[in-house]
Structure 1
Amino acid sequence: MSVMPHPRADAALACLAGHGGDRHQGRSFSSDLSVDEAVLLKEIGYEPRGLVVGSAVYHIGIQYANWTTNQEMGDLTRAMYQARQEALTSMERHAEQVGGQGVVGLKLEVQVHSGGHPLAEFVAMGTAVANPDQKARGIWVSDLSGQDLYLLIRAGYQPIGLAFGACVYHVAHQGLGQWMGQQTQNVELGNYTSALYEARELAMTRMQDEARRARAQGIVAMRIEQKSHMWGSHVIEFLAIGTSVRLVAAQHQMMSPELVVTLDDEVAPITDAPAAPAAGSEG
């Protein structure tokens, strides 16, 4: 009995083998895409070109803050922003070298190295992709998954680039008397509330400013990360990050959903029903 291959299976094999016709024959690639992501990207014309990585190791300087004052640590904010930008720029150069037009599935991480100096390694990693039918207009970067990028482009949008904003903030310490008086009470810590609110707003505003400068219409898949890294509990970095997008079609394209019935779910075992009690018997 012969089995007809599914069209998506053919697309996956062609994509993973690195053959998109004679012009790509013999080229292989590595990526962190799942099979589903590789197939969906192929359906919208994008081919993986390779896993791309950029990194920057930074010495994070020391900045002092007033013990009892909420305030942004401007020098630390600039250092964290510049280090991430260096890692992203390095990754974009790598993507250009492998023939990519964009990067999907971006992971942006900070690894603090222990030792006598406050060193942090900033790593940007993703999969470079290219559409042979489109003219390259610079490298765009996105932290969207392959599935999300597929839906975005099918709906008529195009990723413009990564937008992010950072804010390193010092949270004021309480006085000893105030701290002692609150140990047996349920009470809001006003210094923490106002500090976290202001830091979060600063990070989000800076992210939105980046998107506006890129002439984006919006930001999708936005998230906020909150970490203290090497500074202790009273110095916190807020990072707001997302993918800026723009509508390139004449209007938003509606997509018709398809009903899918999966056949690979585990079948629940059938158990015998308990026998009905005999007539006249008491429970």
Structure 2
Amino acid sequence: MTYRRDTGPSAAPDGGTAGARSGRAWDSALSAEEFAAIKGVGFEPVGQVLGTAVFDIGYTGLWGCPGSWSVTDGRKVPSSAWSASLSPLLRTLYAARRAVVARAVAECRALGGDGVVGLRLRVDGVSEVGLEFTALGTAVRARSRIRPRLPFTAHLGGQDFAKLVLAGWVPTAITFGIAVEARHDDWRTSRRTSWTAGNQEVDGYTHLLDHVRHSARNQLALEAAKHGGDGVVVDEVELQVREIECPTFGYARDFTAEAVFTGTTLARYGRSERSSGRRPLTIMRLERER
């Protein structure tokens, strides 16, 4: 993360918030404990920010039947042609999340904030229109003349944000890893799920879920690297499995699995050869003087 020196009238070394300086009361999505933790590491809330967007997710790009998976390095994986056919859906899922985060960041910049903490993302159905994506968080501003060039975003709550800052880490951006895979429900899986099969592993479904999670994790790591982070802390892992009618064989079923990893990319700052131990406590006498 790069920083710039703020010498304009909005710089407030005295610690006042942007809302207080403008005579406007600020609002936030912080609890009292989160507010105290953020203040304790030199940040002030400047306002609640929200980004929303409604997307139609009707077109997935699917064509034909995914068929049985091939075996590569001892693992069953989908064909590259089938994976490529899902790219329109993947692009939409990424675009929707990035759009609402960008809108929340735009509100943060308008408030004079340096970043957004506690950013929560939700996806809700809107009747038959599509899906509503929302990003809600609290914009904060550092009590310093050194400002980040771009506002950071983080899912971290106030206490976690404060702990990371004290430990020498700063968030750079909220990050996503998304993957969608599909598998035809062939005779091998059907035989293992029949009422006479008994209790046993259905390896076809195991391979599907394992592969989609693995792909989403890889995408998360790539996205984190793009944001210049040293690592990423994961907030949430979502997995949805849907059953659809096979487009080629109407009497058969296909299964699609969608995995979404959401986390915050972290970067190390203030590297020093000095010990990272706690500072010594100040001890004061409390008894009355005689």
Partner of 1:3: none
Partners of 2:120 and 2:61 in 1: CA distance:
28
Any idea what SS the aligned residue of 2:184 has? coil
Give, in angstroms, the shift of residue 26 of structure 1: 2.7
2:123 is matched with which residue: 90, 107, 110?
110
More deviation in 188-197 or 142-151? 188-197
SS at match of 1:123: strand
Structure 2 CA distance, aligned partners of 1:178 and 1:58? 38
* Closer/same/farther in 2, CA of residues 206 and 183 from structure 1, 3 Å limit: same
Q: State the one-letter code of the partner of 2:61.
A: Q
Deviation at 1:50, TM superposition (A): 0.9
Aligned to 1:192: 205
Instruction: Give CA deviations for 1:28-47 in whole Å, capped at 9, x if unaligned.
Output: 11111000000111111111
Give deviations 1:202-250, integer Å, cap 9, x for gaps.
Answer: 1111111111122211112443211358979932221112111111022
Matched, 1:250 2:247: no
- Size of the alignment, in residue pairs? 239
Q: 2:17, 2:45 within 8 Å by CA — same for their partners in 1? A: no
Instruction: Evaluate the alpha carbon distance shift between residue 182 and residue 242 of structure 1 in structure 2; reply closer, same or farther with a 3 A threshold.
Output: same
Q: Distance in 2 between matches of 1:170 and 1:156?
A: 42
Larger gyration radius, structure 1 or structure 2: 1
Q: 2:161 aligns to what? A: 149
Match of 2:215 among 182, 189, 202: 202
CA distance in 1, matches of 2:276, 2:21: 31
Any stretches of 5+ residues in structure 1 without a counterpart?
Answer: 1-17, 259-283
Q: Deviations over 1:104-154 (max 9, x none)?
A: 001111112232x5x111111111101131323211100001000000000
Deviation at 1:89, TM superposition (A): 1.0
Match of 2:191, SS state, is helix
RMSD across aligned C-alpha pairs, in angstroms?
2.9
CA separation of 1:178 and 1:228: change in aligned 2, threshold 3 A: closer
Q: Report the counterpart of residue 275 of structure 1 in structure 2.
A: none
Q: Which amino acid aligns with 1:227?
A: Q
Cα distance between partner residues in 2 of 1:41 and 1:159 = 14
Structure 2 equivalent of residue 158 of structure 1: 170
The alignment status of 1:121 with 2:148, answered yes or no, reads no
Aligned position for 1:172: 184
1:171 deviates by: 3.5
Q: 1:249 to 1:231 in 2, by over 3 A?
A: farther
Q: 2:52 aligned to 44, 50, 55, which one? A: 55
Q: Which amino acid aligns with 1:28?
A: A
Counterpart in 1 of 2:240? 227
Residue equivalent to 2:288: none
Conserved? CA contact 1:111–1:121, under 8 Å: yes
The aligned counterpart of 1:8 is: none
Q: Is the 8 A contact 1:172 1:192 kept in 2?
A: no
CA distance 1:19–1:177, change in 2 (3 Å): closer
142-151 or 182-191, larger mean C-alpha shift:
182-191
Say if 2:231 is the partner of 1:218. yes
For residues 65-90 of structure 1, the C-alpha deviation after alignment (integer angstroms, 9 at most, x for no partner) is: 51644644322111111111111111
Indicate how the Cα distance of structure 1 residues 156 and 230 shifts in structure 2: closer, same or farther if over 3 A, else same: farther
CA distance in 2 between counterparts of 1:46 and 1:128 reads: 10
How far, CA to CA, are the matches of 1:91 and 1:242 in structure 2? 17
Unpaired runs of 5+ residues, structure 2, are 1-14, 70-77, 246-253, 282-290
Comparing both chains, which one has the higher relative contact order based on Cα–Cα distances under 8 Å and sequence gaps of 6 or more? Answer: 2
Q: 1:257 to 1:89 in 2, by over 3 A?
A: farther
Distance apart, 1:197 and its partner CA:
1.0
Report the Cα offset of residue 172 of structure 1: 2.8
The structure that is strand-richer by fraction is: 2
Moved more, 127-136 or 248-257: 248-257
Secondary structure of 2:62's match?
Answer: coil
